[in-house]
Amino acid sequence: MKNKAELVFVATPAMGHLVSIVELAKHLLDRHEHFSITVLLIKPFFRPSYNLYADSLAASESRLRYIHLPPPPPSEPAVPKSPEKFISDFVESHKSQVREAIVNHVLSSSPPTARLAGVVVDFFCTAMIDVANEFAAPTYLFFPSSAAFLGLMLHLPIRHALIGTEFTVSDPNSVTHFPSYANPVPTSVLPAFLFNKHGGYNCFLNHARRFIETKGIIVNTFEELESYAVQSLLVSPESPPVYAVGPLLDLTGEARSGSDRDKILKWLDEQPMSSVVFLCFGSVGCFDPPKLAEIAEALEKSGHRFLWSIRRPPPEGGLAMPTDCGGDYEGLLPEGFLKRTENRGMVCGWAPQTAVLGHAAVGGFVSHCGWNSILESLWFGVPIVTWPIYAEQQMNAFEMVVDLDLAVKLRLDCRDERGGGSGGVEVVVAAEEIERAVRGVMDGGNLVREREREMRDNSREAFMEGGSSFSSLTRLVGDMLGREKLGIMKILS
């Protein structure tokens, strides 16, 4: 029996990052039996849903080995002026733990002739490139967002060499040209961290500078979806080899099941086909009562059936995450709303998103435009209404609406950056605007719906033999195993 090619994965402690990087590991094992993969898990301060999912991984996927890293020396976490810098610094503080895990749990348990074929790091984990270099192992970057946003990241060092500072909002109507976007990008949709003077911008700039040190970048997308962006990366002299191997999805929904799964699916079973609009805003997305009141009014006036996932906002001024309502919406929703809509709507806490999107009753999806959610909507052919909230979600919404014509626009911008330039002021979306978008996605004659169905077929064909993601994964496996290109298909057969 041949020796195993050892791979080590280092994941950012966030659900959207961990789910997709674990799916990548599963695909690699499916494609070649001589990989041995160890996933190093960093425990976050304040994400209980992440911790529960991480704890359940070993039971659900026995082919992978999971190592929970010991935490660094305790410190009193302060409210960060840049969440992105906070996460990056927190991950970097685990460098010695990653080094020790490789020595004590990976190399020590492998045959003497086994080799460390590579270290796969999430893009918040570029500090671990230093650890891989100590073992003379190649590093591969895993990028869980879009190819277009990867192109923006790779362009940051080039722009910084010319401008020398973070982005500004002196002209809110200005645009920026990025090689990976087909259209000029308005300043209003750029992520808040690009304006952040307290480490956010420099944090991403430093990550981007390290991307080019890797042997390749693995992107959770597929070429048929982002043909313009992927091609721009393949011809870019600034980019290492790029492997578009998506969509990488947790289709079982184990990461986001929730306790109300059976109740939700039973309710959907009772609804007509394509009649329900699903509103869900991710593990971090939440709204205060005045914003919830606008959504409630819009849903009530629209007349459409709805399934609405609501998270209770955390206390202000802390590091806590939104929490599940546990069926108690007191103080959150307008008085009488649940009673007035009980025959055509359901409000829930944590929703089994993939199971809901895959249900025949669901005809539209009001989403925060996290990249995983976008890929899931495409996989099931459910058209999205764009309501970005944080991170790079505004860029995702812009690409889906403007570059790809694959979503119904509610908002592309969720903040007024003129409120300070380090996060801005969150915009209140009026009920009339929400109602108009809901009707736009649910009413008949929707061209976006037809485009989504076409992309649904493309997303599934990408993984079939000869498909774009199948071929890209083949090239990646060949590179990791150090094989010549001409021999790759023979190796994998």
Spans of all domains in the chain: 5-248+464-492, 259-456
Q: Tell the burial category of 160 from Cβ atoms under 10 Å away from its Cβ (0-12, 13-18, 19+).
A: middle
Higher model confidence: residue 432 or residue 58? Answer: 432
d(CA 82, CA 202): 10
Which of 5-9, 69-73, 338-342 is predicted least confidently? 69-73
Q: Given 3.40.50.920, 3.40.50.970, 3.40.50.2000, 3.40.630.30, which CATH number is that of 259-456?
A: 3.40.50.2000
Strand ranges in 206-343 using DSSP code E only, listed in sequence order = 216-219, 242-244, 276-280, 305-309, 311-312, 323-324
Q: Quick check: 424 pLDDT over 60?
A: no
Q: Quick check: 392 pLDDT over 80?
A: yes
Whole-number pLDDT of residue 10: 97
Mean pLDDT, rounded, for 421-439: 80
Whole-number pLDDT of residue 290: 93
> If you count them, how many residues does the chain have?
493
Give the pLDDT confidence of 109-141 residue by residue, as tens digits.
Answer: 766 656 799 999 999 999 999 999 999 999 999
Confidence of residue 491 (pLDDT cuts 50, 70, 90): very low
Mean of the per-residue pLDDT values for the chain?
Answer: 88
- Token representation of residue 450: 């037809």
Whole-number pLDDT of residue 75: 65
Element (H, E) at 464: none
Name the DSSP letter for residue 39: E
Give the pLDDT confidence of 441-482 residue by residue, as tens digits.
Answer: 998 667 898 999 999 999 999 999 999 999 999 999 999 998
Residue 159, helix vs strand vs coil: helix
Whole-number pLDDT of residue 199: 93
Whole-number pLDDT of residue 193: 93
d(CA 352, CA 309): 10
Whole-number pLDDT of residue 486: 32
Fold type of domain 5-248+464-492: Rossmann fold (3.40.50)
Whole-number pLDDT of residue 49: 62
